[in-house]
Amino acid sequence: MAITNGSGEPQPQTEVRGFERRHRRSIFFPLLLVAAGGLLLLSNMGVLGPEIWSSLIRLWPLLIIVGALDGIYRGEGLAGQIFWLGLGVLFLLASLGYLSVNIWDLLLRFWPVFLIAIGIDILLGSRREAWARALAVLLSLALLAGVVWFAGANFTGRGATLQSSSVSQALPDANAASYNLSMGAGLFEISGGAPAGKLVNGEVRSVRQRGVRESVTELSDRVVYTLKDESVPVTLGNNNDRHWTMQLSSQLPAALDVTLGAGQARIDLGGMKLESVDATVAVGEMDVVLPAQGEYSAEFTTAIGKTVIRVPQNAAVEIRVDGIFPIDVNGEGLTLNGRTVTATGSGPVTRVMVLNIIGSTTIERVR
């Protein structure tokens, strides 16, 4: 029934526009919760094995994509959601192996673009005209493309010619060494066993060399070696095309700090005189071989992906795993109690911290 005023004429109704419209209820996240609950239930019932999580982890960027689609469906702005949708697609391509990109560094450096996207939503989001919505979409896509472009990204197809350069530093007169190694994306292999008289020896193979910074600093009786990838690589093709191989000195006690944005890190600590190790992989896989002996502190973090810790036969280690996904334990002398894995062996017990925020963790014995 129409509302009338004193003159008997119907009062005009105010049209609800833009952000004043009632938001639709979410349909994407309820469906996501139903799917997640069903998978967890089947896992707890033993219907699904631990290997299913390794496959599902590769699809984690769907959470970002679903969130963006949900925001668009509910009318929570357009430019910002399109921007997140684009990032989600980049993450998904990287996770499936079609794209290698250090998106975390990109986000840390260019986060102010989200303020720009919000401003675009405020300017154009309240308008219902088709041209305004199309302009908001184009501007948000331009923002995403501009960030990748101005970050100095390189796009390279499979089979492209890569640049290789050797890395070699003589062993200085020092009593200990600190290594700060940071790679953007690709395959990162680190081990001991550098030739006698060498602090570090290896090869850096990537699309571009000018973005890699190397430095050696001597502080008192300690030498500090830094190798850092300061570019934002975006490589279409196999992640292993970008391949760093590093051999570190086994003569000096070493503190090791390793960071990999996206890809696979293979870290063999066997034979090294280790003081400490702190290794982080943002997206991808970390595979670590622990020393057979020695007292050291260790912390391994994989934000999204897979972590494998290999424990030598006679090493006594206590590994605390933080995360929400199951732990896979393989080999004799390994005991799982809650989220702590104990490896029996000789010598003092070394305590290792493993943080896997979204992903699977495997602890196994090796000979």
Instruction: Check residue 154 and give its pLDDT.
Output: 45
Q: Which residues pair with 297 in a beta bridge?
A: 276
Torsional sign, CA 337, 327, 272, 249: negative
- Read off the pLDDT of each residue in 18-45 and give the average, rounded to a whole number: 66
Question: Could you tell me what percent of the chain has a pLDDT over 70?
Answer: 64
* CA 261/CA 104 separation, integer angstroms: 7
Helix (H, G, I), strand (E, B), or coil: what is residue 79?
helix
Which has the higher per-residue pLDDT, 57 or 49? 57
* CA 66/CA 37 separation, integer angstroms: 17
* CA 315/CA 350 separation, integer angstroms: 8
Q: What is the DSSP letter of 83?
A: H
CA distances, 284 to each of 93, 96, 185, 262, 302 (Å): 12, 10, 9, 6, 8
Q: Indicate whether 213 pLDDT > 90.
A: no
In contact, 360 and 53? CB cutoff 8 Å: yes
How does pLDDT run across 267-326, given as a tens digit for each residue?
999 889 999 999 999 878 999 999 988 889 999 999 878 899 999 988 899 999 998 788
Nearest to 291 by CA among 278, 264, 265, 309: 309
- Read off the pLDDT of each residue in 231-244 and give the average, rounded to a whole number: 55
What's the pTM? 0.63
How does pLDDT run across 318-350, given as a tens digit for each residue?
999 998 788 889 988 899 999 999 998 887 889
* CA 293/CA 288 separation, integer angstroms: 15
